[in-house]
Amino acid sequence: MDIIVCIKRVPETAEADLVIDGTKKAIETDDLVYSINEWDNYAVEAAIQLKEAEGGTITVISVGPEENNEVLRRALAMGADEAIRLTDPAFEGSDAYAMAKVLAAAIKDMPHDLILTGVQADDDGFGATGVALAQMLGLPYAALVTDIKKEGDTLTVHRELEGGLEEVDTLKLPALLTIQTGINEPRYVSIMGIRRVAKKEIAAKGAADLGLSENDVGLNGSMSQIEELFFPPVGEGAEIIEGTMDEKAETLVKILKERGGIA
């Protein structure tokens, strides 16, 4: 089985103090740490587990600058066989729709039985690239997948739905799945493992190689674009309690008592 996994390199923002940059359309990224998008890490692990059971090949694809080789190498060290990077200044500003066009242009000529993407990316959070890609390639798909079983050319997958419901679907291969976090336990990738694949060639392809024009991709080829980024305005009614830890605790208990929160 030939599996293709789309992986994105994203900044980690959980602990960072985010600053909106001068353009007001992006955040300052100098101090941010980048890594593989969390969902995509689970998708790579899912691909490896399928390969371990069924045999076949895994190719990982990432759209972005040379730094994206980092996440591609990591996936190679984890167990992928080949890596491809799609890169072109024209791709800049692509939304999920335009990004899916870039990926589709690359994937359509590659052998594929199964395509895996993450459910969403940690930075833009579109949650749309995977399903748009399936549509463009004319493949059946299932989103938010939490379990995969394969029998012959049929996949039985579990999907996590709103309200905690779970749906079980069957799909005929070739197909596309968007993978939810928690589907498996991604294995650790050691530094030595990454060093061992450090010299492996990673092919780079641009818009022309993919037969894409400037109007297909980037802002021109997108259905949405960022107008402005801003922090939510500070609302009324919040009270910041000051003082030492003990004073804070005392004040908090007093407030909770006054307002009937505790007896």
Partner 1 sequence: METMEQSLPERLDLYTCIQCGKCTGGCPVSIKSPLNIRRVVRESAVREDLHVFFSRLEIWDCTTCSTCAIRCPRGLRPVDAIIGLREMMVEEGRIEKTIIDALDGAYKYGNPWGRAKNKRAEWAQDLEIANALEMDPGQILYFVCCAASYDPRVQSVAKSLATVLRAGGVNFGILGNKEVCCGSEIRRMGEVGLFEMLMEENMKNFTKVNPQTIVTTSPHCMNALKNEYEGLGAEVLHYSQFVWRLIEEEKLSFSTEVPMKVTYHDPCYLGKQNGVFDEPRNVLKSIPGIEFTEFGRCRENSLCCEGGGGRMWMEGTNVGKRLSEIRVEDALEMGVEAIVTACPFCLLTLEDAVKTTGNEEKIKVIDLMELASMGLGVRPEVEGRR
Q: Does 185 bind partner 1 (CB under 8 A)?
A: yes
Stretches 123-131, 162-170, 182-190, 226-234: which one binds partner 1 (CB under 8 A)?
Answer: 182-190
State which residue, 185 or 228, has the beta carbon closest to partner 1. 185
The span from the CA of 234 to the CA of 111, in Å, is 52
* Shortest distance (Å) from residue 153 CB to partner 1: 29
Give the one residue of 192, 234, 240, 262 binding partner 1; rule: CB under 8 A: 192
Residue 3 burial class via C-beta count within 10 angstroms: exposed 0-12, middle 13-18, buried 19 and up: buried
Helices (H), 79-190: 96-107, 129-137
Q: Cβ of residue 75: shortest distance to partner 1, in angstroms?
A: 12
Q: Which of 83, 116, 34 is nearest to 204 (CA)?
A: 83
Provide the minimum distance between the beta carbon of 78 and partner 1 in the complex, in angstroms, as a whole number.
7
Binding residue count for partner 1, defined by CB under 8 A: 21
- Using rule CB under 8 A, residue 188 touches partner 1: yes
Question: Which residues in 112-141 contact partner 1 (CB under 8 A)?
Answer: none
158: left (phi over 0), alpha (psi -120 to 50) or beta: beta
Tokens of 237: 């009614």
- Cis omega (within 30 of 0) for bond into 174: yes
Q: Round to whole Å and give the CA distance between 183 and 53.
A: 16
**Residue 16, interface with partner 1 (CB under 8 A)?**
yes
| Residue 60 contacts residue 44 (beta carbons within 8 Å) | yes
Please list every residue from 50 through 89 that binds partner 1, using CB under 8 A.
78
Q: How far is the CB of 189 from partner 1 (least distance, A)?
A: 6
CB half-sphere exposure, 145, CA atoms < 13 A: 28
Report if residue 231 touches partner 1, rule: CB under 8 A: no
| Range in contact with partner 1 (rule: CB under 8 A) among 21-29, 30-38, 87-95, 225-233 | 30-38
- Measure the CA–CA gap between 51 and 45, rounded to whole angstroms: 10
Helices (H) and strands (E) in the chain, counts: 6, 11
Q: Pick the closer one to partner 1 by CB: 200 or 205.
A: 200
Q: Quick one: which segment of 9-17, 101-109, 167-175, 225-233 binds partner 1 (CB under 8 A)?
A: 9-17
Tell me: does residue 31 bind partner 1 (CB under 8 A). Answer: yes
Interface with partner 1 includes 199 (CB under 8 A)? no
User: What does the binding site for partner 1 look like in residue numbers (CB under 8 A)?
Assistant: 12, 15-17, 31, 33, 35, 78, 185-195, 245-246
